[in-house]
A and B are shown apart, each in its own frame.
Chain A
């Protein structure tokens, strides 16, 4: 794997590989010195044309824990303001000798375009409404941690699916790992066409919450309010928010609650329920670092054959039952 632009680049086996490798990096992260020299001498540049705190910090931390050098580029303070094109910006940065570009952009497809221009590896850290593959990977890892496996699990994705790159990546990843996805949203917040999406659709969160294993809440993007896609935030909360009443049902059934952050407490999730034990939001953030370490290691460290080589079967070594 040279780039990670979309979940489709990985496939079910690729996701599995990343998640297995993540276990090793979770162990590294728990050490007194949570650092290994696996990517020593590599340079990873965060190229963020759109604001982000957690994703950028998470990638930065991941790269540093692998011993790589990091640089950050943010659009606000750059020559883009002086009218430089993205292509020139990328080529300028690349000329300094970088191994990987972690790209976020408000327009779909920019990371793909950069991957075509660049000799460095490109990792998509979110582009427009299109994809956010590392978020999907850490979501899968978090669900595995909580439920053991995604196979046969029922997952509801609730809220603004239309504008959500997280939803698009998650639907693909969850489905590849054998889960059954239901989208819950008002028609105005669903994509105009769901043809080819392997999902069911519902408009009734109360009915869905009674039969799923995971409820994945999407951020209600307040800026969408101006487009009049929902009558009011209060009305949205009443129909599609995780209210205390719904949270009680979810907690009683052991439903895992997830959210990609940042949470709007009081809108998609009631303020007082966000800290309950079945809410996995902090786990998601915590797992972000080892998952991104795994992605960086696979792209920059393990060698391109790592994916095609497939899982390494462990052989029985000197019989443990021998002399014991």
Chain B
């Protein structure tokens, strides 16, 4: 969510200034490794489990997660991507454009869907994602994995698997990227 909002909310074209390094790239990989085990434990294996990364921040993480899950359980998990731009509730309030295509090349009926995103903030992206999923079928259950839970929820949504809980101010920006997780702010 932070990724998305960063680019298309004021100040447009601002530059992200990192203040604190929260997680190193290695920390991210260790957290993904732990979350993979939690997913397997919670679901008693990976039977019927599919992974869907949210465009764009969740896609890279979903890839890492699937690699770990496949390695641990020696399986080939289905992996999809979902862009929720057309399901957002803030269309018309600010520019909303899809950033990449949705690709879910498998049926969701009866599956356990693990949604993956980088940062959980207001919860509105996840609300939109849940709406979008119903158009693809009726999963048995939907679980949520995020790298950072930064609080400030505006909807009754909670994650099932968390890389790190990070208390933040509302105006701060969390960046999950190749340099790891950083906390900072946007400046013109």
Contacts and interface: CB of A to CB of B under 8 A. Distances in A.
Contact of A23 (B96, B101, B131, B176): B101
Contact of B177 (A28, A316, A320): A316
Contacts of A315: 3, 56, 177
B160 interface: no
Contacts of B59: 317
Contacts of A21: 97-98
A308 to B, nearest CB: 9
A24 B101 contact: yes
Given A28-B86, A31-B135, A323-B29, A318 B64 contact: yes
B131 A37 contact: yes
Contacts of A179: none
Given A303-B96, A323-B64, A323-B67, A36 B135 contact: yes
B95 A317 contact: no
A182 B98 CA distance: 36
A302 interface: yes
B100 interface: yes
A66 B94 CA distance: 18
Main secondary structure of the interface of A (DSSP, over half): loop
Given A38-B91, A319-B60, A306 B86 contact: no
Contacts of B56: 314-315, 317
A309 B3 contact: no
A322 B29 contact: yes
A315 B32 CA distance: 21
Nearest to B33: A323
B185 interface: no
B61 A303 contact: no
Interface string B154-170: 00000000000000000
B99 A312 contact: yes
A278 B39 CA distance: 50
B87 A38 contact: yes
A301 interface: yes
B106 interface: no
B168 to A, nearest CB: 19
B92 A301 contact: yes
B101 A27 contact: yes
A216 to B, nearest CB: 28
A252 interface: no
Interface string B111-132: 0000000100000000000011
A313 B7 CA distance: 9
A35 interface: yes
A95 interface: no
B62 to A, nearest CB: 10
Contact of A317 (B61, B85, B98): B61
Interface of A: 21, 23-24, 27-28, 31-33, 35-39, 66, 297, 300-303, 305-306, 309, 312-320, 322-324
10 contacts: A31-B136, A37-B87, A66-B86, A301-B91, A303-B94, A306-B95, A312-B97, A315-B56, A319-B25, A324-B63
Interface of B: 3, 7-8, 12, 25, 28-29, 32-33, 56-57, 59-61, 63-64, 67-68, 83, 85-87, 91-103, 118, 131-132, 135-137, 147, 176-178
Closest CB pairs A-B (n = 7): A317-B60, A36-B86, A303-B95, A318-B60, A38-B86, A24-B98, A306-B95
